[in-house]
Amino acid sequence: MNKDLNIVPFVSVDNMMKIIGKLGIENMLKGIAEYVEEDFRRWQLFDKTPRVAAHSKEGVIELMPTSDGELYGFKYVNGHPKNMKEGLQTVTAFGVLSEVYTGYPILFTEMTILTALRTAATSVVAAKHLARKDSRCMALIGNGAQSEFQALAFKTLLGIEKLRLYDIDPVASEKFVDNMQSYGFDIVVCDSAREAATGADIITTCTADKLNATILTDDMVPSGVHINAIGGDCPGKTELQKELVLRSKLFVEYPPQTRIEGELQQLDDDYPVNELWQVIRDELAGRENDDEITLFDGVGFATEDFSALRYIRDQISRPGMSATYENLDMIADPDEPRDLFGMVRRSGAMSKAVA
């Protein structure tokens, strides 16, 4: 019996940055992409449900649970577009991995940074199967918190060298250029989404406004392009013109969730879609020729967080990584399991009471 089951490893924001420092961000993106792809291959094993969302005027708070029968994971994540103006993150997150057999948590971790990594890794996993093999230039529309992670993942795993940026706020693009200067990209900052899309092999949309926007219209996108649309990720939040969605070959993570949250919101409830896991398993064709427009309507699914949690658990268990987490006293663990009260009593809690 492991005597320390009451202790749960906790990866703080600071320690997540240390892990990135020790492993290298490119290696992490590669590693997480492998775990994400592995779990998409095991898709049918997973207990799947659309995320449980609490919507308010200002934003949304969501829980995203899933399980493969051996491990259980969930993420808490908020989405508050108005936060940015108040100096806060639009998206913050944390997550837990547990053992199904005992129900005990085995990892608690920050997931704001980790979500950025897993979202970028998932986009690349999709693009690997859906973008033209000779893709070298990517348009990045929306240069917020997710954009640099996308760029680096596409460079590391897919060989993207040229970036065409656009953001309604030029300060965001400047920040991007500053952050990416040492990574060897050829970067062009554009004055419009249309200009950014021109000549791109892949177009990534990652804007944050919570509304039905039309960031990308049908006439901006020539044949052969892969669209990586990840900003539309909750009810009432889309980025693409409906005609463009209809013209594309559409790939999604988990249809019941994407129909509520993705670009798919704009189409009929029974509009046919292709599931990414089937493409990854070679059960379904991805891109079939160099002319079609492929669209990954990514909203982010619980299995991707599960993959990221598994990855972090495996990394912090490696030799030399013990300084990358703390131990939290999270689980009450009396010597005799039925004697929870006795544990409290013997702690001296009862006698110290000031009534």
Q: Which residues are catalytic?
A: 233
Using CB under 8 A as the binding rule, the residues of this chain from 76 to 115 that contact its own copies are 76, 78-80, 83-84, 86-90, 92, 94, 96, 98, 100-105, 110, 112-113
Task: Note whether 184 binds its own copies by CB under 8 A.
Answer: no
| Contact by Cβ (8 Å): 271, 264 | yes
User: What is the pairing mode between strands 326-329 and 294-297?
Assistant: unpaired
Whole-number Å distance between alpha carbons of 245 and 238: 11
Whole-number Å distance between alpha carbons of 275 and 126: 10
**Least CB distance to its own copies at residue 241 (A):** 25
Task: Note whether 145 binds its own copies by CB under 8 A.
Answer: yes
Task: Note whether 325 binds its own copies by CB under 8 A.
Answer: no
Strands (E), 32-79: 52-55, 60-67, 71-79
Task: Note whether 295 binds its own copies by CB under 8 A.
Answer: no
The size of the interface with its own copies (CB under 8 A), counted in residues, is 95
Q: How many CA atoms lie within 13 A of 302 on its CB side?
A: 28
Using CB under 8 A as the binding rule, the residues of this chain from 148 to 177 that contact its own copies are 148-149, 172, 175
Whole-number Å distance between alpha carbons of 152 and 201: 16
Query: Could you tell me which stretch among 211-219, 227-235, 268-276, 347-355 binds its own copies (CB under 8 A)?
Result: 347-355
**Least CB distance to its own copies at residue 344 (A):** 6
DSSP 312-347: HHHHHTSTT-GGG-EEEE-S---SSTT-HHHHHHHT
Closer to its own copies by CB, 111 or 220: give it: 111
Please pick, from the candidates 29, 33, 116, 264, the single residue that binds its own copies as defined by CB under 8 A. Answer: 116
User: Burial level of 221, CB count in 10 A (0-12/13-18/19+)?
Assistant: buried
**Least CB distance to its own copies at residue 18 (A):** 7
| Contact by Cβ (8 Å): 196, 141 | yes
**Least CB distance to its own copies at residue 199 (A):** 25
**Least CB distance to its own copies at residue 147 (A):** 8
Residue 193: partners with Cβ closer than 8 Å, 6 or more residues away = 139, 141, 166, 215, 216, 220
| Contact by Cβ (8 Å): 139, 202 | yes
Binding mask 198-237 toward its own copies (x if CB under 8 A, else -) reads ----------------------------------------
Task: Note whether 1 binds its own copies by CB under 8 A.
Answer: yes
Using CB under 8 A as the binding rule, the residues of this chain from 19 to 58 that contact its own copies are 20-27, 47, 49, 52, 54, 56, 58
